[in-house]
């Protein structure tokens, strides 16, 4: 089939771009599961934006780059925070209702590493759900939507992207040709056993972009959220940082303040600091929420999940879990990648605005800001554009198979919150691959291959960065190095592997 714009993924960034482009273009959305199933839908935190006179874009800017350990692309970070107020207005006009007090003023929350209260919420702790559902109601009227369709590979001809090879819900392959292809597939949290991510978020976009020859960067920076529910025998779920913003505190098993003497912001220290502190504890850590009045009303989603897991709303057991990948497919301000015709938005992209450690509640903002930038460029631009990125040294690799439960054990233990040369080297040996698919064409096998490929990319990138910065912590290099400041570890597939991948894609399509 043919379309003008193909959007792969249906989280906030993809839906926003589809909605904006569908006013003038024919837009097709494909999603590997159901429409809207994504990390965006699960987002309990709000959206960070400057909406009051006691705040400014410069405050938001400096909070963002401090949290990102000065690894941020400062030009695009400035764009991100300056656009915040405008995006709130736009979302309101689309029908999103942000929580407000009786006087009609926005209720503003505080979260870790923010200097002022600037987080807007909708439905208490259901902001992502409100945004996604609002956009779903809009795109259903104007876009072609294909659910349960998995993108296998991008279609490349003469170094330009012209769509994707897709597997539908009954296992048939379909070629979808497009003038513009937008990757919006999310991050890679499901590579770890404990994660806040939706079950569909398995690094697919990163793997298929890599196989297509796109440049990736910053894949060593995975953010671990400090407060995942850690009840015995239960599936972990996120307990929003906004809970600590309302006054909740982390306690050790004997009732002592966990963050006392660790950081001057205590429980609202940057996420990497709090996550590492929790991970080092040999005994249980609890989040004390007893001081928060009307918790059920303020955090209805979390309260319901606690009730379902028979956890009293007092002290909730917590542990750190994989949350957000700061790296991804390298893009410019318009979402353009190193391959003409291919764009990337949301968590799968690396705009550089999050640096080495994302500031809380900047992810939803990033999704809508760069979806607008990308849509505006496509509506006005020339599809035959060229972009240029620095290419880092390539690595040669070999083939191996790994069951997914074993893959997660490797990622948890060796490519997790704390890393070392010995651990990463061991992980890489167990994650090596040859750059082409094994003889397997079911959806499950393709997703497993994507997970293995993305894991290998993350582990090898982490080995290259011999320092600690933000979400990347090396036990053998525990400090930042000046030589790594603003240095990006970029990755690109070798030419031989790229040719083999394209030949296989053509074979499958026939």
Query: Catalytic positions, please?
Result: 271
Query: Environment class of residue 458 by beta-carbon count within 10 Å: exposed (0-12), middle (13-18) or buried (19+)?
Result: buried
- SS3 (DSSP) at 47: strand
The answer for residues whose C-beta is within 8 angstroms of residue 146's C-beta and 6 or more apart is 28, 29, 30, 31, 166, 168
Q: How many CA atoms lie within 13 A of 110 on its CB side?
A: 13
Kind of pairing, strands 2-8 and 285-288? unpaired
SS (H, E, C) 130-164: HHHHHHHHHHCCCCEEECCCEEEEEEEECCEEEEE
Can you tell me which residue has the tokens 């999050």? 354
Q: What is the DSSP string of 339-380?
A: STTEEE-GGGEE-STTTTSPPTT-HHHHHHHHHHHHHHHHHH
* Cβ(250)–Cβ(258) below 8 Å: yes
**Which residues are registered as beta bridge partners of 5?**
27, 180
Pairing of β 173-183 and β 249-252: unpaired
Question: In sequence order, which residues have a C-beta less than 8 Å from that of residue 425 and are 6 or more positions away?
Answer: 463
Largest CA distance in the chain: 64
- The enclosing H or E element of 54 equals none
The tokens of 160 are what?
Answer: 């330009």
Residue 72 neighbours by CB distance under 10 Å: 27
Euclidean distance between CA atoms 362 and 63, whole angstroms: 11
Cα distances (angstroms) measured from residue 151 to each of 26, 154, 450, 463: 19, 8, 11, 29
Query: 3-state DSSP call for residue 106?
Result: strand
Could you report how far apart the first and last alpha carbons of the chain are, in Å?
Answer: 14
For residue 148, count CB atoms less than 10 angstroms from its CB and return exposed for 0-12, middle for 13-18, buried for 19 or more: middle
> Please, are residues 472 and 420 in contact by the beta-carbon 8 Å criterion?
no
Distance CA 252, CA 394 (A): 45
Helix (H) or strand (E) holding 263: none
């Amino acid at each position: 089939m043919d379309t003008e714009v193909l959007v792969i993924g249906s989280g906030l960034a993809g839906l926003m771009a589809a909605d904006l482009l569908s006013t003038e273009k024919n837009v097709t959305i494909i999603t590997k599961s159901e429409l809207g199933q994504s990390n965006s839908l699960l987002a309990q935190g709000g959206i960070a934006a400057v909406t009051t006179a006691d705040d400014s874009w410069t405050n938001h800017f400096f909070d963002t780059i401090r949290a990102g350990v000065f690894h941020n692309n400062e030009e695009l970070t400035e764009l991100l925070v300056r656009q915040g107020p405008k995006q709130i207005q736009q979302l309101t006009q689309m029908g999103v209702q942000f929580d407000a007090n009786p006087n009609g003023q926005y209720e503003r929350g505080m979260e870790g590493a923010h200097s002022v209260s600037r987080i807007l919420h909708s439905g208490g702790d259901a902001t992502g759900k409100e945004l996604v559902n609002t956009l779903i109601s809009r795109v259903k009227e104007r876009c072609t939507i294909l659910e349960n369709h998995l993108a296998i590979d991008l279609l490349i001809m003469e170094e330009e992207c012209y769509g994707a090879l897709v597997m539908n819900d009954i296992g048939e392959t379909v070629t979808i040709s497009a003038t513009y292809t937008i990757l919006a597939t999310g991050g890679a949290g499901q590579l770890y056993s404990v994660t806040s991510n939706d079950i569909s978020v398995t690094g697919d976009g990163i793997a298929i972009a890599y196989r297509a020859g796109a440049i990736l960067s910053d894949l060593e920076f995975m953010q671990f959220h400090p407060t995942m529910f850690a009840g015995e025998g239960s599936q972990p779920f996120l307990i929003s940082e906004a809970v600590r913003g309302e006054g909740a505190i982390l306690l050790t098993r004997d009732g002592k303040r966990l963050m006392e003497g660790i950081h001057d912001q205590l429980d609202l220290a940057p996420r990497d600091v709090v996550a590492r502190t929790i991970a080092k504890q040999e005994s249980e850590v609890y989040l004390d929420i007893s001081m928060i009045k009307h918790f059920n009303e303020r955090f209805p989603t979390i309260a319901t999940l606690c009730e379902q897991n028979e956890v009293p709303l007092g002290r909730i057991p917590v542990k750190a879990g994989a949350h957000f990948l700061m790296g991804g497919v390298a893009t410019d301000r318009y979402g353009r990648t190193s391959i003409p015709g291919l764009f990337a938005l949301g968590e799968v992209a690396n705009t550089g605005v999050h640096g080495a450690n994302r500031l809380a509640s900047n992810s939803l903002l990033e999704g809508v800001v760069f979806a607008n930038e990308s849509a505006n460029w496509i509506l006005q631009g020339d599809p035959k554009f060229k972009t240029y990125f620095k290419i880092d040294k390539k690595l040669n690799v070999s083939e191996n198979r790994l069951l997914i439960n074993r893959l997660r054990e490797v990622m948890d233990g060796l490519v997790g919150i704390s890393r070392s040369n010995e651990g990463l080297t061991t992980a890489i040996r167990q994650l090596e691959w040859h750059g082409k698919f094994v003889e397997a064409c079911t959806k499950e096998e393709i997703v497993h291959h994507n997970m293995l490929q993305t894991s290998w990319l993350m582990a090898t990138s982490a080995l290259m960065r011999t320092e600690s910065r933000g979400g990347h912590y090396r036990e053998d290099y525990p400090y930042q190095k000046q030589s790594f400041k603003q240095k990006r570890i970029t990755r690109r597939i070798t030419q031989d592997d790229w040719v083999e991948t394209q030949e296989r894609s053509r074979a499958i399509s026939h």
